[in-house]
Amino acid sequence: MENFTFYSPTFFVFGKQTENEAGSYVKQFGGSKVLIHYGGNSAKRSGLLDRVINSLKKENIPYIELGGVKPNPRSGLVYEGIDLCRREKVDFILAVGGGSVIDSSKAIAAGTVYDGDFWDFYSGKLIEKALPVGTVLTISAAGSEGSPDSVITKEEGMFKRGATGNAIRPKFSILNPELTQTLPPFQTAAGITDIMAHLYERYLTNTKDVEVTDRLIEALLLTMKQEGPKAVKDPNNYEARANIMWAGMMAHNNSCGVGRSQDWNSHDIEHELSALYDCAHGAGLAVTMPAVFTYVMNHDVMRFAKVAVRVWGCQMDFDHPENTALEGIEAFRHFLISIGMPKNFDELGAKEEDIPKLVDVLCNGNGRTGSLNGFVKLDEKDCTEIYRMMI
Amino acid sequence: MENFTFYSPTFFVFGKQTENEAGSYVKQFGGSKVLIHYGGNSAKRSGLLDRVINSLKKENIPYIELGGVKPNPRSGLVYEGIDLCRREKVDFILAVGGGSVIDSSKAIAAGTVYDGDFWDFYSGKLIEKALPVGTVLTISAAGSEGSPDSVITKEEGMFKRGATGNAIRPKFSILNPELTQTLPPFQTAAGITDIMAHLYERYLTNTKDVEVTDRLIEALLLTMKQEGPKAVKDPNNYEARANIMWAGMMAHNNSCGVGRSQDWNSHDIEHELSALYDCAHGAGLAVTMPAVFTYVMNHDVMRFAKVAVRVWGCQMDFDHPENTALEGIEAFRHFLISIGMPKNFDELGAKEEDIPKLVDVLCNGNGRTGSLNGFVKLDEKDCTEIYRMMI
């Protein structure tokens, strides 16, 4: 195991009706003027925004609103939010939504107290200072509610890039599984896929002797395998939603990923797809992961065999472990299809002829220098081959 | 799943040589005058104390020392520490040791800033204010490095009781697995048993639909089952020590125990043994748990069958699940014996004739009212029977 530090100071409030406590937590964490940041109209229509606003009113905390965050959140709205927060002297940002809203909130929080262009953070600069952020989560997927990360897409060039820093870890996150019950099955399944991707990206490591984190990742994958289909089949299954919601946080706060190298090639390869086609990140991952895993499998056959046996229930082929490894990847692929995820470029809305452009932005855009450096080093030729496997 | 809150703000620093960073973390978390609290002479002899002191000197942080913490830490030394901290105007407590040292440090931290008798907290009062505590952990066992809990024994009456409160969660904890390599096999095994007890006490729940936490607990039990014997056999196995150390923290920071009722009857029943005979807590638990589990098994046979199959690799007896449940308990018992733990009263140094006294203190002492209320409600008759099963 490698040396590491781990810090997850977010205060989690989990369970039914907990969004009504948002105001008291804003107060507890020092907010005196709040920006409520949210996405489309569903938060308004469902009454969620009203409940959150009422909880602020009860504490006499003034607020302003900024809606309009889209999936794959854009830099334009972030700049708008930063201006607004400075003008209105906002000192706390309350994200009401899913990963996109939280990521946009984190970007605004960091940018408001930064003299330069906030995009610096998405080009590699560590975020060391930010306004405090709280969240009311409405989708189990990104894990942004417990992570130090944010992903934003820059309109100019359609670069989708990440930033990180403990300063943007939410002060509190309110996780009410009821709020996810209104999600349609496709969005639910895309969230499940994203959570499983966060687990696989950590599982694919080159660090030896990491049994504790291997086991924790497998535990969360097994949870998703068992509870995921229940939530897709019956959106009102509170218990399945609750199990998924806690698994989604644990999958990405990094307690199961410490002390080991991680992959993240699948995320990088997918980011170009959702940036260009504006598809759901989870849907893009569903098409990307089986292709990437099949391509890199021989780098460590026993690791793929291990997840196949322990998570997917495959029988170990002791004479030909590669058969077991492949069987596990296929089991994962079929699981994703069974919950309604797309299986290829066509179903995703991606186009074969765009592959050269995808590969170029992926490998050379915005600071990259010709390759991805995760579990396996992938150059332009590798990435081209992987995209071709998704056709 | 039940509603819950979860908060684990400790900054963890994990890996080789990290004790040399203690001073810089004390500074980062605001300490300007430190009490170094430790146990016997091993911390001095090994040079650990010197390394920690050097790290404080490097930051020009003045310190005083208070050693002498014994296993099953006593209230007497806590009172002494409180006096010392007040007199010397200490504002940060640095625990260098295992769970006993950390628990004693937490008690001093809470007592120093409290007007009344610190024992109030160990009689049920929530700890809401304390001096900041940092830790340099030397034993994987108690999980106190990441928990809001502390257990102290009051000499007068030999009551062993716990206190809790987020205020005593360590600000930082330094976890260097190398420091555990000097532990003799018996202490290592007792620590492993304590960690597994923290997991079983959470596993035994009456809450339904808690797959995510069930799976996380199983993952950590599987880690202990695999890595534990390696560390007992070869004390210098750094990788096994590292896996155990992170598992020990995760087992008790409650991320795997949220949203569910928990047991803790085994801990309560054991506490009377280590209070009276001053045996190692883990050794007491090794004798206690199999007896308790066998006694309560019929309350939820399928839960015991589940852990038997998923952790102990038993084949499910679908016609007679109680056979599988019992087989799992026996597998656990044999595991504990195989790593060198005692199996009965005799090996523990406990005496049959003390049972009435043990049961009386257990069920009626220090605020208890005739029974324990964990996974199963246990009255004096039940507890007598359980102690008799350990003879």
Q: Is residue A158 domain-shared with residue A204, that is, in the same domain?
A: no
Is position A87 within any domain?
Answer: yes
**Residues A230 and A265 grouped into a single domain:** yes
Shared domain for B175 and B250, answered yes or no, is: no
Show residues of chain B in contact with A208, CB under 8 Å.
239
The CATH number of the domain holding residue B92 is 3.40.50.1970
Q: Are residues B110 and B188 in the same domain?
A: no
| % chain A with pLDDT above 90 | 94
Indicate the pLDDT class of residue B156, thresholds 50, 70 and 90. Answer: confident
Q: Which of A5, A211, A250 sits opposite B13 (nearest CB)?
A: A5
Q: Which residues on B lie below 8 Å from A218 (Cβ)?
A: 219
Last residue of a domain, one of A179, A203, A237: A179
Segment B244-263 mean pLDDT = 97
Same domain? B152 vs B206: no
Residue A111, both tokens: 């940018």
Name the average pLDDT for chain B: 96
Q: What value does the mean pLDDT take over residues A301-305? A: 98
Q: Does B2 fall in a domain?
A: no
Given a cut of 90, whether residue B318 has pLDDT beyond it is yes
Chain B contact for A250, CB < 8 A?
yes
Q: Identify whether the C-beta of residue B71 lies closer than 8 Å to the C-beta of residue B100.
A: yes
A8/B contact by beta carbon, under 8 A: yes
Cβ-contact A35, A93 below 8 angstroms: yes
Q: Is it the case that residue A88 has pLDDT exceeding 90?
A: yes
Q: Are B166 and B234 in a shared domain?
A: no
Sign, Cα dihedral of A363, A107, A10, A66:
negative
For residue A341, what pLDDT is reported? 98
With contact defined as beta carbons under 8 Å apart, do A230 and A237 qualify? yes
pLDDT the model gives residue B35: 98
User: pLDDT of B273-309, one tens digit each?
Assistant: 998 998 999 999 999 999 999 999 999 999 999 999 9
- Within an 8 Å CB–CB cutoff, is residue A29 touching chain B? no
Q: Is A219–B216 a contact, with Cβ atoms under 8 angstroms apart?
A: yes
Query: Are B259 and A239 a contacting pair at CB < 8 A?
Result: no
What is the Cβ-side half-sphere exposure of residue B141, based on CA atoms within 13 angstroms? 26
pLDDT digits (tens, 9 = 90+) for A92-109: 999 999 999 999 999 999
Query: Is residue A25 included in any domain, yes or no?
Result: yes
pLDDT at A367: 74
pLDDT at B154: 92
Residue type, B80: E
Looking at the structure, tell me whether residues A224 and A338 fall in a common domain. Answer: yes
- In this structure, what token pair is assigned to residue A248? 């989604």
Selected for mutation to probe chain A from B29, B216, B223 (highest A CB count within 10 Å) is B216
Considering B125, B155, B179, which residue would you say is the last residue of a domain? B179
**Does residue B390 have a pLDDT over 90?**
yes
- What distance in Å separates residue B87's CA from the closest CA in chain A? 32
Interface residue A6 vs chain B (CB under 8 A): yes
State which residue of chain A sits closest to B210, comparing Cα positions.
Answer: A243
In a shared domain, residues B144 and B34? yes
Q: What phi and psi values does residue A263 have, to the nearest 5 degrees?
A: -95, -85
Q: Judge if A376 and A269 occupy the same domain.
A: yes
Rounded to the nearest 5°, which phi and psi values hold at B268? -60, -45
| B276 contact partners, CB below 8 Å, separation of at least 6 | B158, B350, B354, B357, B358
- Counting residues of chain B whose pLDDT is more than 70, the rounded percentage is 100
Contact B242 A259 (CB under 8 A): yes
User: Are the C-beta atoms of B100 and B281 separated by less than 8 Å?
Assistant: no
Q: Which CATH number covers residue B308?
A: 1.20.1090.10
Out of B8, B18, B222, whose CB is closest to A3? B18
Average pLDDT, integer, range B167-186: 97
Task: Give the domain range for residue B367.
Answer: 182-389
B212 → closest Cβ in A5, A15, A246: A246
The SS3 call for residue B377 is: strand
| Segment A266-294, tens digit of pLDDT | 999 999 999 899 899 999 999 999 999 99
User: What's the CA gap between B187 and B281, in Å, rounded?
Assistant: 10
Query: Is the pLDDT assigned to residue B147 strictly greater than 80?
Result: yes
- For residues B160 and B278, state if they share a domain: no
At residue B162, the 3 state secondary structure works out as: strand
Whether B241 is in a domain gets the answer: yes
**Closest CB to A15 among B2, B208, B247:** B2
Tally of structural domains, chain A: 2
Which of B179, B209, B232 finishes a domain? B179
Q: Does B9 touch chain A (CB under 8 A)?
A: yes
CB pairs under 8 A between A and B: 127
Residue B208 pLDDT exceeds 80: yes
Asked if residue B96 lies in contact with residue B36, where contact means CB atoms within 8 angstroms, the answer is yes
Give the model's pLDDT for residue A159. 82
Tell me the C-alpha distance between A109 and A84, whole Å.
11
Q: State yes or no: pLDDT of A215 exceeds 90.
A: yes
Domain presence at residue B3? no
pLDDT tens sequence across A308-326: 999 999 999 999 999 999 9
Determine the average pLDDT of the residues in B134-155. Answer: 95
Q: State the pLDDT at residue B114.
A: 98
| ipTM reported for the complex, 2 dp | 0.96
In a domain, A5, yes or no: no
Confidence label for B127 from pLDDT (cuts 50, 70 and 90):
very high
Q: Three-state SS string across chain A, please?
A: CCCEEEEEEEEEEECCCHHHHHHHHHHHCCCCCEEEEECCCHHHHCCHHHHHHHHHHHCCCCEEEECCCCCCCEHHHHHHHHHHHHHHCCCEEEEEECHHHHHHHHHHHHHHCCCCCHHHHHHCCCCCCCCCEEEEECCCCCCHHHCCEEEEEECCCCEEEEEECHHHCCCEEEECHHHHCCCCHHHHHHHHHHHHHHHHHHHCCCCCCCHHHHHHHHHHHHHHHHHHHHHHHCCCCHHHHHHHHHHHHHHHCCCCCCCCCCCCHHHHHHHHHHHHHCCCHHHHHHHHHHHHHHHHHHHCHHHHHHHHHHCCCCCCCCCCHHHHHHHHHHHHHHHHHHCCCCCCHHHHCCCHHHHHHHHHHHHHCCCCCCEEECCCEEEHHHHHHHHHHCC
Asked if the structure places residue B60 within a domain, the reply is yes
Q: Which residues of A touch B14 (CB under 8 A)?
A: 1, 3-6, 258-259
What is the DSSP pairing of strand B149-154 with strand B159-164?
Answer: antiparallel
Pairing label, strands A377-379, A371-373: antiparallel
B195 and B170, same domain (yes or no): no
Candidates A172, A215, A311: best to mutate against B (most CBs of B within 10 A) is A215
Q: Let me know if residue A338 belongs to a domain.
A: yes
B8 to chain A: which residues are within 8 Å by CB? 8-9
Residue B40 DSSP SS3: coil
Q: Looking at chain B from residue 73 to 132, which residues have their Cβ under 8 Å from any Cβ of chain A?
A: none
Same domain for B102 and B190 = no
Confidence of residue A348 (pLDDT cuts 50, 70, 90): very high
